[in-house]
Amino acid sequence: MKHVPCALTIAGTDPSGGAGIQADLKTFQELKCYGMAVITSAVAQNTTGVKDVHHLPLGFLEKQLQSISEDMPVHALKTGMVAQKDMMNVIADWIPKIDAYYVMDPVMIAQSGDSLSEEESREVLRNQLLPLTSLVTPNIPEAEEITGKRIKTEKDMKEAAEAIVKNFGAGAALVKGGHKKGTAVDYLFDGNEIYTFESERIQTKNTHGTGCTYSAAITAYLARGYSLPEAVKQAKHFVTEAIRHSFDLGHGSGPTNHFAAREEVSNKWM
Ligand SMILES: Nc1ncnc2c1ncn2[C@@H]1O[C@H](COP(=O)(O)OP(=O)(O)OP(=O)(O)O)[C@@H](O)[C@H]1O
Ligand SMILES: Cc1ncc(CO)c(N)n1
């Protein structure tokens, strides 16, 4: 193989396999990227919720990052759960050392309602990490937290995407409408124009890890050399199919189906 696209996730774990590092690696693999993973926190969770969180020591986070940058190529990376401000500072110091697209999924609260980030980390996320991003992918509550403004309408979603780029220095912003009623519509602002990505809303409770899968798919397509709008378009297709074919596993919100998603998208382009 001549050129292997290499994708890295920096995130927390999900032993039940639907979200976090586990979902990211499955997505990278299905989208033909060499997947790498740096763990921020070990999370005892499943489809019903979070039982406990164990944050890895900061020095160990640094050593994991160093293990990547001194040895491996990275074409695109994503961050997911980064719970503490000191972890964010370590990551913010490291990212400029490598030359890669950076997709931030600003994970704050799990689908089950459990908090996955400390309140005091929000300021560091805004000031240190956002300006380093190629793209940030907040859902509506996360976009509200970043901008400090309520989002009620689709116009509000578009304005939030613009504000996150213009006022907070993100490279681009994708505000996701998974949490609203009606179609599943997301708005991307890349600094120049607004792009709309829309799909039908699939009636299912099995949406554990949708945000992780979506941002990992965008990261994979960027690693493969797709432009940002094209990467988001393909990733939206991938996550929609992953939800459509989601598994009815566990007693809560079941996981999405990565291999069925790849089969659906590969019929069209792979
Ligand atoms: N029921 C659904 N049917 C179709 N698409 C959906 C559905 N729910 C979410 N999506 C889409 O899935 C993608 C992930 O968005 P979502 O808002 O669920 O992310 P998130 O809240 O960050 O996820 P998570 O719950 O993993 O934190 C978006 O493109 C969103 O529009
Ligand atoms: C580790 C982790 N990251 C993100 C989410 C959000 O789905 C989750 N449940 N767990």
Q: How far apart are CA 219 and CA 226, in angstroms?
A: 10
Mean pLDDT, the chain, as a whole number?
Answer: 95
Question: Given this model, what pLDDT does residue 1 score?
Answer: 55
Q: Is 80 exceeded by the pLDDT of residue 202? A: yes
Contact 60, 39 (CB under 8 A): no
- 212: annotated active-site residue: yes
User: What is the mean predicted confidence (pLDDT) over 16-43?
Assistant: 98
Q: Which ligand is nearest to the CA of 139?
A: 1
User: What is the mean predicted confidence (pLDDT) over 16-45?
Assistant: 97
Q: Tell me the per-residue pLDDT of 209-264, one tens digit each, with 9 for 90 and over.
A: 999 999 999 999 999 999 999 999 999 999 999 999 999 999 999 999 999 999 99
Q: How far apart are CA 165 and CA 42, in angstroms?
A: 31
E strand or H helix at 176, and its extent?
A: strand 173-176
Contact 22, 14 (CB under 8 A): yes
High-pLDDT (> 70) share of the chain, %: 98
Q: 80-100 burial by CB neighbour count: b if 16+ within 10 A, else e?
A: bbbbbbbbbebbbebbeebeb
ipTM of the shown complex: 0.97
Looking at 201-248, list the stretches that DSSP marks H as alpha helix, in order from N- to C-terminal side. 210-223, 228-244
Q: Classify the C-alpha dihedral 189-190-195-200 as positive or negative.
A: negative
- For helices 140-147 and 154-166, give the axis angle rounded to 10 degrees: 50
Which is catalytic among the residues 211, 219, 236, 256?
211
Q: Is 219 exposed, middle or buried (0-12, 13-18, 19+ CB in 10 A)?
A: buried
What are the helix and strand counts (H, E) for the chain?
Answer: 9, 10
- 240: annotated active-site residue: no
State how far the alpha carbon of 212 is from the alpha carbons of 14, 15, 98, 110, 167, in Å: 11, 14, 22, 11, 25
Q: How far apart are CA 8 and CA 17, in angstroms?
A: 17
Kindly state the tokens that stand for 230.
């094209």
Domains and CATH numbers, the chain: 6-269 (3.40.1190.20)
Distance in Å, CA 248 to ligand 1 centroid: 17
Question: Given this model, what pLDDT does residue 261 score?
Answer: 95
Q: Is 60 exceeded by the pLDDT of residue 198? A: yes
Q: Which residues form the pocket of ligand 1, taking CB atoms under 6 Å from any ligand atom?
A: 19, 111, 139, 176-179, 184, 186, 199, 201-202, 204, 207, 209-212, 214, 236, 239-240, 243
Which is catalytic among the residues 137, 207, 213, 219?
207
Distance in Å, CA 3 to ligand 1 centroid: 32
pLDDT tier at 37 (50, 70, 90 boundaries)?
very high
Question: Given this model, what pLDDT does residue 91 score?
Answer: 98
pLDDT tier at 173 (50, 70, 90 boundaries)?
very high
Question: Given this model, what pLDDT does residue 228 score?
Answer: 98
Angle CA(61)–CA(63)–CA(66) in degrees, nearest 5? 110
